[in-house]
Copies of this chain bind each other. A is one copy, B any other.
């Protein structure tokens, strides 16, 4: 490709709303252009990268026996009503509309309903299972606040796959195949990533794993072990039970803590640290009016773990100040487990504490030297809190560290959530109808393009891995309009490399100064740069520069092909 015949729209400045590197560089490099909030045009050079990522995804899906399909973007409401998601899908992200005949449709953000409908029509016998279908397609989610360019757009490109099985062991096998395929995809686009345990969220189901590209700009916190490959979405990581504090129990004392409404106040007043205190949350109960949750004073309750407690009303709801005062006789800042007349569920770490400080269930008073069993009873001990850096890794190896990640992939074991709701059955070998078991597997293809940049850039621009680079080589002739030798060498090398199947961008713009061409080449991140000028050609040489290292060397013209082929 020649820049004289190619729309290379580089910009000196990024737009004010571009906060992260990938957004800034995609705009500055002319890879994308904003059409409206969360909607982007892919420019020619960006489309090349998008297609390369798509091809890698397709290749790895095919390798594990995925069958490519293409389902409509537009989906009828009936199927979503059948699955029960028409009303409850992600608070308004589902874009609904009426067609000209006043029938309800949506712009598909995902295709579980459509594929399950297809599968129940086409899959009749267990002999057709397992079956895995995938598509690469435009999706739309009407985000409240689209931001970070391609990382959180409204319209985006996604690979979504769905598998159907007779039983769990078959689902497990395909789930593992997908894990392998996702790993290879992310290795092929050369990103540092972690597969992390995840919450399966509103989509329902069982096992679930997210694939995160590590990047400071990531929206998700990941907890990972410093000594093993354990990693989990931080909100999902298990906080394991520490050994109990074996200090001899002191004497329970009630102390006056006037105006101390928070853990911090109490610590200041008593000259202790937060990990010597316990805090108590009063929640609405399922069977009893109220339920108490007890955590160590320096820890945060974890909403996902708390939501799993069957003793709580769903969704979990804090009791009001008024309900608390009526039941316990004090304000929220003075509650504690000692003598509390309701079910008490204690976090593992809180349960290991001895001689702790806690509210005395009387305004303005706390207990010191409180101890479990002697002074307070629990119904159960559970993992209720967020993990924190330094917690032991749940796999017993090392301690937890935190990192930020960009979720680019997600694999789920859906089980029979959709297949049961939509009655998708096959006949087993005894001729009996059995509801199929199902998995689903997504990759944010356009988001992955941005995530690659988050890991591969410097202050001059993008640094594309060879597998997804828009061009492998850029040739910059110096003053070609004044030098036949430069022009001939540039054109010759362009023709030779192109003939070898190497994608070359020849910057033949007469109007641009060399400095502008160098800056553009670095901004768009082409891995190999060849500069051709009269000075070098006198010795039969051109200048080669590796974009990643920035190192430049002089090469004989006939050495170029070998150098850029690796």
Contact of A69 among B41, B70, B76 (CB under 8 A): B41
Q: Is A17 an interface residue (CB 8 A)?
A: no
Contact of A42 among B9, B70, B154 (CB under 8 A): B70
Q: Nearest chain B CB to A34's CB is how many angstroms away?
A: 10
Q: Is A432 an interface residue (CB 8 A)?
A: no
Nearest opposing residue in chain B for A32, CB measure:
B70
Q: Is A389 an interface residue (CB 8 A)?
A: no
Digit string of A95-128 for contact with B (CB within 8 Å is 1, else 0)?
A: 1010110010101000000100110011100011
Question: Which of A138-146, A358-366, A370-378 participates in binding chain B?
Answer: A138-146
Specify which chain B residues have a CB less than 8 angstroms from the CB of A71 in the assembled complex: 35, 41-42
Nearest opposing residue in chain B for A114, CB measure:
B35
**A69 x B97 contact (CB < 8 A):** no
Q: Is A50 an interface residue (CB 8 A)?
A: yes
> How many residues of chain A get a CB closer than 8 Å to chain B's CBs?
56
Digit string of A292-314 for contact with B (CB within 8 Å is 1, else 0)?
A: 00000000000000000000000
Q: Is A367 an interface residue (CB 8 A)?
A: no
Q: Is A67 an interface residue (CB 8 A)?
A: yes
Q: Nearest chain B CB to A92's CB is how many angstroms away?
A: 5
Specify which chain B residues have a CB less than 8 angstroms from the CB of A68 in the assembled complex: 44, 47-48, 51
Q: Known contacts A122-B33, A128-B7: does B44 contact A74 (CB below 8 Å)?
A: no
Q: Known contacts A33-B122, A68-B44, A140-B74: does B100 contact A92 (CB below 8 Å)?
A: yes
Q: Is A86 an interface residue (CB 8 A)?
A: no
Digit string of A255-280 for contact with B (CB within 8 Å is 1, else 0)?
A: 00000000000000000000000000
The answer for the CA separation of A117 and B40 in the assembled complex, in Å, is 12
**B33 x A121 contact (CB < 8 A):** yes
Specify which chain B residues have a CB less than 8 angstroms from the CB of A103 in the assembled complex: 36
Q: Known contacts A9-B122, A35-B114, A122-B7: does B44 contact A155 (CB below 8 Å)?
A: no
Q: Nearest chain B CB to A267's CB is how many angstroms away?
A: 44
**A69 x B42 contact (CB < 8 A):** yes
Q: Is A75 an interface residue (CB 8 A)?
A: yes
Contact of A73 among B43, B73, B118, B123 (CB under 8 A): B73
Beyond A47-B68, A99-B154, A137-B138, 5 additional pairs, beta carbon < 8 A: A9-B122, A39-B72, A39-B75, A73-B140, A73-B155
Question: Residues on A close to B: CB < 8 A?
Answer: 4-7, 9, 30, 33, 35-36, 39-44, 47-48, 50-51, 65, 67-76, 92, 95, 97, 99-100, 103, 105, 107, 114, 117-118, 121-123, 127-128, 131, 133, 137-138, 140, 142, 144, 154-155, 511
